[in-house]
Homo-oligomer: A and B are copies of this chain.
Amino acid sequence: MTAQSPNDQTYVGVELCAGSARAALVSAGGEVVARRESAAPPEDPVVQVARLVAELRDASSAQVAAVGIGLPGLVSPATGRVIISSDLPSVMRGDLRAELAKATGLPVTLENDANAGAVGEYAAGAGRGSRDMFYVTIGSGIGGAIIIGGKLWRGASGFAGEFGHITIDPEGVVCVCGNVGCLETVASAPNIVRRTRERLMRDSTSSLSRLGLNKNFTAADIAHEARGGDDFAALMIERTGRYIGTAIATVVNLLNTERVVLGGGVMEAGQLILEPIIREAQRRSFQPNFESTQIVAATLGPDAVPIGAALLARDAT
């Protein structure tokens, strides 16, 4: 092995999800050199990460300096341990970081997936060139992260940016967090499906009804029908956008970051959801704040978390 300058180093970033794990070999500048993916359950996350890292090392002659993991949970800044993960309970165990470091032989950084996604989009995606950014990810859950002056703003607990638990409807549905009417109770992918099912019980004019109430259709199916011209599906996506836009208005009013970047699976509905988000945010936010905030879709797609996790690993070493 020849000596390499730090700029020749690469980093492995991994996104651990309930359904899969995605890994990327990332340059120090945030470019993806190679990708690997694997189905997750019921495999142990340590075994899974170790294999993905080994595969990526085999795929490139570049030296891997560290591994960063983005996961759907809260990582305690004090202990480095995962303290809450409702989506992926297998990562809530003793010292996961130490286990991963031992299994890969590399320094490992653990980070909340929304934080990692924010760092990825800020460095290499839709946040590029902005000073301050709010990042939102809308998928099976809803997360958020704040970047101020180029750095994650973590708040007093380390868990600032809890966008999904903003109250949208004070008299709404009970959330897993215990609150009532959180954004997540109406706008996450499973809750888009729930709302759609409830409406379909009363209204069967949609092409979705052809799918039948018992078929396990997804939020992506609803977006697909909406793009295909189904009015009812389009209404459900539009209404979801308005919920999200109400919460975005709060971010615009309070934080007024230069940019707001929206990512996650639900945003794959494209303009059908982005347009009502922006319209509702404009309606509900203070005009000078709205005019100084750019609200845009994320551009890295599934690369956001692996890239961000890799860059966080770079910064930690």
Contact of A254 among B177, B179, B251 (CB under 8 A): B251
Shortest CB-to-CB span from A244 to chain B, Å, is: 12
A217 within 8 Å of B (CB atoms): no
Residues A256 and B157 in contact, CB atoms below 8 Å apart = yes
Q: Which of the segments A12-20, A263-271, A281-289 contacts the partner chain?
A: A281-289
A257 within 8 Å of B (CB atoms): yes
Shortest CB-to-CB span from A216 to chain B, Å, is: 30
A162 within 8 Å of B (CB atoms): yes
Residues A289 and B254 in contact, CB atoms below 8 Å apart = no
A218 within 8 Å of B (CB atoms): no
Contact of A253 among B156, B162, B285 (CB under 8 A): B162
Q: Which of the segments A98-106, A163-171, A205-213 contacts the partner chain?
A: A163-171
Residues A286 and B177 in contact, CB atoms below 8 Å apart = yes
Residues A289 and B162 in contact, CB atoms below 8 Å apart = yes
CB within 8 Å of B: which of A146-180? 146, 148, 153-163, 165-170, 177-180
Residues B159 and A257 in contact, CB atoms below 8 Å apart = no
A34 within 8 Å of B (CB atoms): no
23 contacts between A and B (CB under 8 A): A74-B288, A131-B156, A144-B254, A146-B254, A148-B148, A153-B255, A156-B257, A156-B293, A157-B289, A159-B256, A159-B288, A160-B255, A165-B284, A167-B246, A169-B170, A177-B286, A177-B287, A178-B283, A179-B283, A179-B285, A251-B254, A254-B254, A255-B255
Binding site for B on A (CB under 8 A): 74, 83-84, 131-132, 144, 146, 148, 153-163, 165-170, 177-180, 246, 249-251, 253-258, 283-289, 291-293
